[in-house]
Amino acid sequence: MDGILPLWKPRGMTSHDCVMKIRRIFKTRKVGHTGTLDPEVEGVLPICIGKATKVVPFLTDTKKTYIAELKLGKTTETEDSYGEIVETMEVEAFPETDEIDTCFKSFLGVTEQIPPMYSAVKVNGKKLYEYARANKEVERPIRNIEIYSIKRLAQNKNDQTIRFQVTCSKGTYIRTLCVDIGKRLGYPAHMSFLERTQTGNFTKKEAVTFEQLEKTATEAERAAWLKPLLSGVDHLSSIEVSEQIKRKVQHGQKLPRPDELPRTNPFLMVHHGELLAIYQLHEKSKQEIKPVRVFQLDKKVGE
């Protein structure tokens, strides 16, 4: 059984917990998730099953959309509502709507972000949260992220909260974004709510819950929830190949570089709507392209 399951991850489970449960439900060990969600966060978590595990790195790299809420007046060590409070300030003048909107606009585009200490980012071979739990401060790497869109949804002066929707690049910490927004508004802040509503082309509307999965009695019923491999990588450009070229692609052969270069690198090799492989420009030969993943063979070739 091969495909992508658009899972709605519930609160209280880690992404790894979800993988383990899917393995039991689908009776296969070949399962992988496409981007960690904190245990306290629910949302869209595409799960790759069977041959679809080969597209995990490419689906992980897609845009994500979240509904988030930040609360002004307090900062916590974890940057969310579950950590110890490290700074407080009375919100004497809650920001006006125009001020909030202007602040949000300032975050659009490519910006720098320092990941939180309570995160899985590695420094010198150890995860940052391991340093945090040992009360050790280390220099955190500055990373470039991209905010594609961000808009205010609601604000509540009584609760001192601002709810917003954001679409961002891989690796963006919404907790840190909430803290940074608070700073620009003049107050300490933390993330008080988060839900991921979209990963790549997979949306909340089509996501499947564990409750729904556990009601499926047959393999055919479970397979019906799976999306084709192509749906997980159609953010990449594609090249339609002939029947003759299809055979070469299926055997992982290098091919002449096309006259018209694809929009993305890597890119898809497709035949009549069937995903055959993911190719990339050959880094050593300007005349060739080579396979990164081949889906019609059981082994990975061309690397």
Active site residue 38: yes
Q: Is 192 helix (H, G, I), strand (E, B) or coil?
A: strand
Cα separation, 298 vs 211, whole angstroms: 32
Q: What is the per-residue pLDDT across 234-280, written as a single tens digit (0 to 9) for each?
A: 899 999 999 999 999 999 999 999 988 899 999 999 999 889 999 99
Percent of the chain residues past pLDDT 70, beyond the cut: 97
- Residue that has been written with the tokens 């930040």 in this structure: 70
Q: Is 118 helix (H, G, I), strand (E, B) or coil?
A: coil
Span 221-229, average pLDDT: 91
**Which of these is catalytic: 17, 38, 80, 298?**
38
The pLDDT value given to residue 299: 42
Structural domains in the chain plus CATH codes: 3-62+201-231 (3.30.2350.10), 64-196 (3.30.2350.10), 236-294 (2.30.130.10)
The pLDDT value given to residue 303: 37
The pLDDT value given to residue 296: 66
Is 269 in contact with 42 (CB distance < 8 Å)?
no
Cα separation, 281 vs 239, whole angstroms: 13
Q: What is the per-residue pLDDT across 82-104, written as a single tens digit (0 to 9) for each?
A: 999 999 999 999 999 999 999 99
pTM of the model: 0.89
Q: What is the mean pLDDT of the chain?
A: 92
Identify the helix (H) or strand (E) that includes residue 84: none
